[in-house]
Amino acid sequence: MNDYSELQSIHFFVAIAEAGSFSAAAKLLDFSTAALSQRLKQLESRLGVRLLDRDARGIKLTEEGEQLLVRGQALLREFDSMMEETRGSSGRIAGSLRIHGPLGFGRSYLAKMVADFHALHPALDISLTLSDRFSANRGERVDIVVHIGELPDSDWVAYPIAPNRRFLCAAPQFLASQPPFEHPDQLRTAPCLVLKENDEDAGLWSFERAGENVSVRVSQAMSVNDGDVIKQWALAGKGIILRSEWDVADDLRAGRLLRLMPGWEARDADVVALVPHRTGMPLRQRSFLTFMQERFRPIPPWRAAADVDPDQGDLAAVLV
């Protein structure tokens, strides 16, 4: 059996291990389950070891299988990178690129960005998945994850994309019925609207001012797992939200929302791109990372029209 066939067998094995089942891998590879099973048996026979066990719950890698998975993934990345570099020398980027991003940010920014990148590289097959729930530790087959906020605890490598602050804000009609807000402790009893996402402790809000740190368990008047809904409630005067500036910048500029306690800074929620590995990154992956970074420089679009420093004004001061 030649070297290419061996590489293909390793590719099949890695696909099975990453997909978690023969049927899922067969669908991904456009290959029959029976043929995939046969190729695995042949690989195990040549190696003289068993690579995985199957039961009703799925597959489980043996110790030898775990070792081959790590080495095989590295080998395939290097091979893929070599092919991309060679292809890229002619100005052509091809292959597949799997991108995951959050719903709201994905609709507002990623969707157009992906379309524009594909227009530059039409031979590229791009898959964009938008969801507010993603775990880098669940083995999902993704090349780039666009993430906003606190970094997850994982081995993935983070690349900065754009700065993004978080603002405490509410509608003018709501604030007209409330006493002045001067300290985060007031949020313990004030009507707050809580966005539940990314398995975070959504009801615990943290702020800082001149070295003083305050964490508050806010009163949850209403909660939801959708960013569009939480902003609709705020615009309707239902309560206070803590939201990314990319989402509320236009509403703050137009006066539909006003900032509360601008002297108290919430933790930033910068936009980053997560990739599984730092080395062996294919050209298409590196090119899209660079493309994203350039789109948000020198300042991101949510700050492009900024002409007011929020820390120097009253509730109507909206952007940095």
What is the length of the chain? 320
Mean pLDDT throughout 277-306? Answer: 86
Kindly report which listed range (119-123, 152-156, 191-195) carries the lowest average pLDDT score.
152-156
Boundary residue ending a domain (88, 122, 150): 88
| Pair of tokens at residue 194 | 């809580």
Looking at the structure, tell me whether residues 260 and 205 fall in a common domain.
Answer: yes
Mean pLDDT rounded to a whole number for the chain: 85
Do 286 and 294 contact (CB within 8 A), yes or no? no
Looking at the structure, tell me whether residues 72 and 43 fall in a common domain.
Answer: yes
* Position 308 pLDDT exceeds 70: no
The per-residue pLDDT for 159 is 94
The per-residue pLDDT for 309 is 44
Kindly report which listed range (80-84, 127-131, 201-205) carries the lowest average pLDDT score.
80-84
Q: Within a domain: residue 320?
A: no
DSSP states of 102-138: -HHHIIIIIHHHHHHHHHH-TTEEEEEEE-S---TTS
Give the model confidence (pLDDT) of 154-173 as tens digits: 778 999 999 999 999 999 99
Cα dihedral 159, 169, 202, 320 in deg (nearest 10): 20
Report the distance separating Cα 194 and Cα 238, nearest Å: 11
Looking at the structure, tell me whether residues 253 and 274 fall in a common domain.
Answer: no
Number of domains in the chain: 3
Does the pTM exceed 0.75? no
Strand-strand pairing, 58-61 and 52-55: antiparallel
Q: Within a domain: residue 318?
A: no
Looking at the structure, tell me whether residues 244 and 254 fall in a common domain.
Answer: yes
Task: For the chain, give the percent of residues with pLDDT over 90.
Answer: 51
- Which CATH number goes with the domain that contains 43? 1.10.10.10
Residue span of the structural domain in which 288 resides: 95-164+270-301
Model confidence at 306, in pLDDT bands (50, 70, 90)? Answer: very low
Looking at the structure, tell me whether residues 170 and 160 fall in a common domain.
Answer: no
Do 43 and 13 contact (CB within 8 A), yes or no? yes
- Which CATH number goes with the domain that contains 293? 3.40.190.10
Looking at the structure, tell me whether residues 73 and 49 fall in a common domain.
Answer: yes
Give the model confidence (pLDDT) of 3-33 as tens digits: 667 888 888 888 888 888 888 888 878 788 8
Boundary residue ending a domain (38, 56, 88): 88
The per-residue pLDDT for 144 is 95
* Position 315 pLDDT exceeds 50: no
* Position 310 pLDDT exceeds 70: no
* Position 258 pLDDT exceeds 50: yes
Give the model confidence (pLDDT) of 75-98 as tens digits: 877 777 666 666 555 567 888 899
Report the distance separating Cα 3 and Cα 307, nearest Å: 61
Model confidence at 193, in pLDDT bands (50, 70, 90)? Answer: very high
- In angstroms, how far is CA 97 from the centroid of its own chain? 15
The per-residue pLDDT for 3 is 61
* Position 180 pLDDT exceeds 50: yes
Looking at the structure, tell me whether residues 234 and 284 fall in a common domain.
Answer: no
Looking at the structure, tell me whether residues 13 and 83 fall in a common domain.
Answer: yes
Mean pLDDT throughout 97-108? Answer: 94
Looking at the structure, tell me whether residues 109 and 80 fall in a common domain.
Answer: no
Task: For the chain, give the percent of residues with pLDDT over 70.
Answer: 87
* Position 316 pLDDT exceeds 60: no
Report the distance separating Cα 228 and Cα 223, nearest Å: 12
Looking at the structure, tell me whether residues 194 and 260 fall in a common domain.
Answer: yes
Phi and psi at residue 53, in whole multiples of 5°?
-120, 145
